[in-house]
Amino acid sequence: MSLLDETVSVPRRTMTLFFMIDTSGSMAGSKIGAVNDAVVNVLPMLDEISITNPDAEIKVAALEFSTGCNWLYNEPKLASEFVWQDVQANGLTSLGAACEELENKLSRSKGFMQSASGSFAPAIILLSDGAPTDNFEAGLAKLQGNNWFKSAIKVAIAIGDDADKEVLAKFTGTNEAVFTVHNIDALKQIIRVVAVTSSQIGSKSSAAGDTTKQDQVISEVQNAVDNIDGAEVATKVDGSSYADDWD
């Protein structure tokens, strides 16, 4: 095709999977160990999806947050090239700052969404065990104004009972996208299920949305969660939010 000569580039499309990992002090020990283990093991699975998927390649970016926040690498890496370095747990829980940092990078001109992403929304997986210690509302508000975030698949994994599930539900937009785990095994399994499902669904070409990708991910993960011991799904919200008669 002379019209598609060397002067014309048709890039491969990319879907980016973001891990936002709570590395505050309370995650120390077996929890952070489980996270490290789970991510290391899920990367090859993501790579497989990337290779066999004709629609898009999958890139991974990881943001750890404790007292401050920090990207593991300065740009998203292909799953096959992503070398996971174990993260350590120490400090506070600056989820607000992490939201702002994520919002910075969810941009085409100066962020991570540069490489010809065509029409793939990113997937964002938030892992946390506790409540934020900074101004989370402000950070989230900024994030919610971002178009990429609005279209993203958002899932949160709450680790243990101390996790502030309301906060996580605010992040994902629905408490159905918040999955709680109570033991280490469940944690590992769910990280795997969520990452794989988000990548599979996220990187498929879909049409003008009926069921959003987020909803598809939620329903598939819910099905899988039934089989994971120690993991639970949030119950459906009661539709009527009105107070009773005041008399």
Q: Which residues bind other proteins (CB under 8 A)?
A: 1-11, 13, 54-55, 73, 77, 81, 83, 85, 115-121, 147, 150-151, 205-210, 242-243, 245-247
Beta carbon of residue 155, minimum distance to other proteins (angstroms, whole number): 18
Q: Where are the beta strands (DSSP E) in 41-132?
A: 57-65, 69-71, 77-78, 123-128
The nearest distance, CB 118 to other proteins, in angstroms, is 5
CB of 182 to other proteins, least distance (A): 32
The CA dihedral of 82, 85, 91, 93, to the nearest 10 degrees, is 20
How many other β-carbons are positioned within 10 Å of the β-carbon of residue 1?
Answer: 5
Please give the radius of gyration of the chain, using alpha carbons only, rounded to the nearest integer. Answer: 18
> Least separation, in Å, of the C-beta of 85 and other proteins?
6
Closer to other proteins by Cβ: residue 41 or 133: 41
Q: Which is nearer to other proteins, 134 or 154 (CB)?
A: 154
Query: Which CB atom, from 130 or from 202, has the smaller least distance to other proteins?
Result: 202
Distances from the Cα of 235 to the Cα of 136, 174, 212, 222, angstroms? 24, 11, 20, 11
Closest CA to 159 of 125, 135, 136: 125
Output 119 or 223, the one with its CB closest to other proteins: 119
Give the shortest CB-131-to-other proteins separation in angstroms: 30
Cα-Cα-Cα-Cα dihedral of 50, 52, 53, 56, to 10°? 40
Q: Which is nearer to other proteins, 150 or 162 (CB)?
A: 150
Burial 126-164 (b: 16+ CB within 10 A, else e): bbbbbbbebebeebbebbeebebbebbbbbbbbbbeebb
**Shortest CB 110 distance to other proteins, Å:** 13
Q: Among residues 4 and 110, whose Cβ is nearest to other proteins?
A: 4
Task: Yes or no: say if 178 and 221 are a contact pair by the CB < 8 Å rule.
Answer: no
